[in-house]
Structure 1
């Protein structure tokens, strides 16, 4: 607890080096240090209403609907496994009379009511977003557990990015979240990176001249980190920001379970959100015999680990929830990341905990850089005045990355991108 928040900057031992537009060279650590708010020792006055991690987290869970208002245009993406995924594109502030007319349009019947400040894109607007001549950078946002584009931490980042960059922002909605209906019996989890992969393939195939960045928050950060490690050198992203990630899901479980507030407030609240997602999509999920059996197996789970033990772990083929936690943890794929990646964390994060932040692992990977704060909670970072800390850092990082050629990257490291195993034997 404190009246100010201090920044800790942990770069890679041998960071990657970029070329600037003028032909000069700059390494990743120096590029991050061009961001005042990310420099070692930077500090700011903490919001008086949120002096420590729990209050920052609870403040961050509120809607803050009066600030950082963002209007969205939604379209559907249909994946190759038959799912329907919502893409929420940030729009310019509309004429409200015209907005009242535009919200009357729906691409199909029987859709849930609109999320706040969201309407469906008309066919001409959808086609415009597939313009092959589009060259503006695209920033993809991956929200947290059962969240969406309406979350205050997403909106604040989009507002900050718009102040510094001429880019397009889109929120990739996890299946079943933010009034996005599930039409195939499959739920999202940190290992489910296919929706992000599929969307990236569509963008790169139709708009090959765009730079693409991604920002992940909490569970979305775990999805993004897993994706970066899975794809390694094949990732089409020019840069990524991983914000408040649960790097080790088992350690995160212990952090919550061993905390009075975590075990009695956070866990039940998150489980309730997941149970609501199940109820809202039960008709479709019942089409899967496994889900149908599990949904009717007893009273709704009261904690995250109970939910994952009943649904997520067995559906994905794991022996138990703890087997799932260990295998799905993105820390295992951090060493394979070959995309410039800024990791943001708070030491007083009551959901993930500071022990889960991979300071040492990230320092060995030239592509990763950790910036942490003494206060901030889980997706909080509220200062006494002005924009949230993480929003400013993410926006300025993307601006800095736009000044370098991410196709010309030099890295020095002495381990390969991947380790290969044959059973339990390491194969070199």
Structure 2
């Protein structure tokens, strides 16, 4: 594995460097060298035995399981988090600063909603690719950014770049009021409401009815003036936690009697059993926003269309791997392998 090779190479280079420093008198004796080598060996043993692990694969159906093991090798390989920042909170904080932002050129489209609002879509059509030259049948991936995220997030840009190499088309769904677009109605979005998403899916399907379509969402995937007409924004902004913000704003906006009603409606554990198409969910157990104890593992085991991939480390949308993880994360590899598997071999799931 690449992670093992990198770790062994790092250990070897460190040993050679330290031996050279001893020769020039940096340590003055073998005591310093022994301490450094001892610490390095102990850390390497801890990393390989505790940190680097294969992800837990939870699947309710044997056919889907065989399909993933055959076409998505990343799901059965050991995940090697970045050696120097494997902890969840560190991965979460550093990912936006470490990973590069590929250059992507979009074509923007604004579509209207039934209540008078508008949704901004950013298209990457991938015209001119040799794999799917006919745009009418070119596979399309609908990308859903996380909370307050847009088409310019690094993880979205990486998804688009990987899709480009496979010949696919991408369209990014920017939620109301983000990506620099005006909020035309006093309504944004929440985790339980799917009306805008349904509008976007229907719009994309109508544009390319013969093209296969799949969606990839990250995390949960405003402008103040229009909201001040109906909400006490000053009071809302005094919220000290996400729960308090949802109690003062989100649950009120969408008509929930209490915040508990909103959270119950938004909780995936009540919807997993109803999923009827193959869905792959990647989550780190040390995710600070979606921790391991909140993942509906038992519900997933009862649905043959749902697969949960749970890594021990990775944080929230982190999944950094390698010594200097600028170009690709573990999430990127899983995304690329899964979308290619579905578009090119999806029928195998039903034939198994």
Give the TM bin, normalised by the shorter chain. 0.7 to 0.9
Q: How does 1:199-348 map to 2 (within 5 A)?
A: 199-220=200-221, 277=222, 281-287=223-229, 289=230, 291=231, 294-297=232-235, 300-348=238-286
**Correspondence 1:10 to 2:44:** no
What TM-score results when the alignment is normalised by the length of structure 1?
0.64
Cα separation, 1, equivalents of 2:147 and 2:335: 20
Deviations 1:106-164 (A, max 9, x none): xxxxxxxxxxxxxxxxxxxxxxxxxx96111110111111111111121222222333x
Decide whether aligned partners of structure 1 residues 158 and 7 sit closer, same or farther in structure 2, where only a CA change above 3 A counts: farther
**Correspondence 1:29 to 2:51:** no
Can you give the 5+ residue segments of structure 1 that lack an aligned partner in the other structure? 16-26, 94-131, 221-276, 412-428
Deviations 1:163-209 (A, max 9, x none): 3x211011100111121221111110011211110111122233211
What is the total number of aligned residue pairs between the two structures? Answer: 295
Cα separation, 1, equivalents of 2:350 and 2:79: 33
| More strand, by proportion | 1
Cα separation, 2, equivalents of 1:310 and 1:55: 30
Preserved CA contact (<8 Å) 1:56 1:381: yes
Deviations 1:217-268 (A, max 9, x none): 1112xxxxxxxxxxxxxxxxxxxxxxxxxxxxxxxxxxxxxxxxxxxxxxxx
The equivalent position to 1:350 in structure 2, one of 288, 291, 295, is: 288
| More helix, by proportion | 2
**Correspondence 1:80 to 2:81:** no
Tell me, what secondary structure is at the counterpart of 2:328?
A: coil
What is the match of residue 17 of structure 2?
Answer: none
What is the match of residue 39 of structure 2?
Answer: none
What is the match of residue 342 of structure 2?
Answer: 401
Decide whether aligned partners of structure 1 residues 190 and 169 sit closer, same or farther in structure 2, where only a CA change above 3 A counts: same
Could you tell which deviates more after superposition, 309-318 or 332-341? 309-318
Cα separation, 1, equivalents of 2:190 and 2:98: 24
Cα separation, 2, equivalents of 1:76 and 1:407: 37
Preserved CA contact (<8 Å) 1:334 1:361: yes
Cα separation, 2, equivalents of 1:298 and 1:326: 22
Decide whether aligned partners of structure 1 residues 167 and 12 sit closer, same or farther in structure 2, where only a CA change above 3 A counts: same
Cα separation, 2, equivalents of 1:368 and 1:199: 23
Q: How does 1:16-165 map to 2 (within 5 A)?
A: 27-33=63-69, 34-39=71-76, 42-62=77-97, 64=99, 66-90=100-124, 134-163=136-165, 165=166
- For the aligned residue pairs, the C-alpha RMSD in angstroms reads 2.5
What TM-score results when the alignment is normalised by the length of structure 2?
0.77
Can you give the 5+ residue segments of structure 2 that lack an aligned partner in the other structure? 1-45, 128-133
Cα separation, 1, equivalents of 2:317 and 2:207: 33
What is the match of residue 317 of structure 2?
Answer: 379
Cα separation, 2, equivalents of 1:44 and 1:298: 41
Preserved CA contact (<8 Å) 1:89 1:170: yes
Cα separation, 2, equivalents of 1:72 and 1:315: 31
